[in-house]
Structure 1
Amino acid sequence: MIAVFLLLVAGVSAEIKTDLNCTNYIGDGTITFGYAPSATVCDNIISDASCDALYAPVTAGDYPEPGNDVERPFNCYTATGTTGGAFSADMKKAALESCPKSCGYCCNTNRYNCRNVDFPRLNCNTITRTQCNSPAWRTIIATDCPSACGFCNEGGCVDAVLDCANDLSICTAVGMQDFVNTYCQRTCQRCASTTAASSGTGSCTSFIADSSTSCRAWSLNGFCTNNFYTAAQRRVYCATTCRIC
């Protein structure tokens, strides 16, 4: 679980001790807290060279990376830019808007700061950038772990392959419909928007009670609309939330 609390202490240290945002508790005797993969999964908004100048690491060359515990550059969260400086919300806001990767703050940006489903099909905290770009994983991650890959604003629907938008003619090309229905749902507007067509609900006015207490969270991450789930699964667990008779 990503730690999102703040601990202020004085004293220079190579370990993460001052700001524990976007970290995981490791506690293996060597490292207490280490950066989560989502800490650096995004890109800096401005150039990396400019970020190097604005947010110099505590130890030269040692920036936050998944699993390591180097101290976050002080300028990322203090107005003084030195150890023991008071936390500054304005400095953190500036870091988020310019150099979130260099500061290890990716998980706090709008694209990455949302709730994952309660029972994901994979460990959201260990998802890598390779998985974020993988046709085998992208659609599942968008539904279950949107915060891991910056899918928070996608409504649970993404293209399974990255280059669908390079040639929009595939959306209407004869012989390509099975492909775009599976791999280019967002670009070709094939994302499910309602459950009526797939579940046969029609215009009914009463619904089966939900059997799971997690339906609201699941629905926010696409359970009711993503074609990965069957109408039977929606009916068993979240009939009321998904508006299934």
Structure 2
Amino acid sequence: MPSIPLGAPIWSDSLTADLAGDTAFYEGLFGWSSENAGPEYGDYTTFSLPGAEPRPVMGIMPCPPGMSPSRTWNLQFRVADCDEAVDKARSLGAAVDAGPESVGSMLRFAMLRDPNDASFGVVEALDPTTGFGVWGEVNSIAWAEYHYDGAPADAMRFYVDLLAWDAVTPPWEDPANPTPYTALSARGDAKEFGGCHAADGFEKSMPPQWSVMVAVVDADALCAKAAELGGSVAAEPMDVPGLRVAGIATPSGTVVGVHSPRSWV
């Protein structure tokens, strides 16, 4: 499994209204294998890149009564101590939606909302194998993006204080831009895991939120395949610097982003 630094994304999952339908959809779309943990763990289902040693990618579980299915995939970040992280998050203006609670001997987690009301989670890995088994390869999560109607650095200050991120303006950003992009990495890790951009277009009507991006070979072809499998295209493919990006929705409506290098399209 990859080494997951403190503060970096450690896992992503979602609540579904149709476990069987979404499981078949993800398997068909990304070529994943799946493992259902059974009723004891709420039929939590883990998807992996198949192989001699399957590498976990993300998970889904049936939506519990009284809760709403996920609109997008949830994103959780690794912390050394979940309870301490929750206390600090509260002091920084966050609200707690669930936890802290433990999942067997694997992890201790909590789900929160940042001061802008965007959902995120924190995970303390009690087992060293907890978390992503792969990151950045084709058909695995490769990026986390946050949109905010304002200066990205302002929105990320909470996470810098909570998770000790490095949040910097990349060298390609226009010096005249009053709301420049913010690139994100775990403290001391040279590899960026995501970023924050100023909301534009339709995003201005949406609340701030995290989006998870899966790397694929061909975003256009994947959108066509999603429709064939009973899903839909939530955001038509478009070009951004160096990438072709799109949003796809499962048969039950949960949306995930995908991207491919433009040279592959």
TM-score (norm 1): 0.26
Name whichever structure is richer in helix by fraction. 1
Name whichever structure is richer in strand by fraction. 2
Pair member with larger Rg: 1
TM-score (norm 2): 0.24
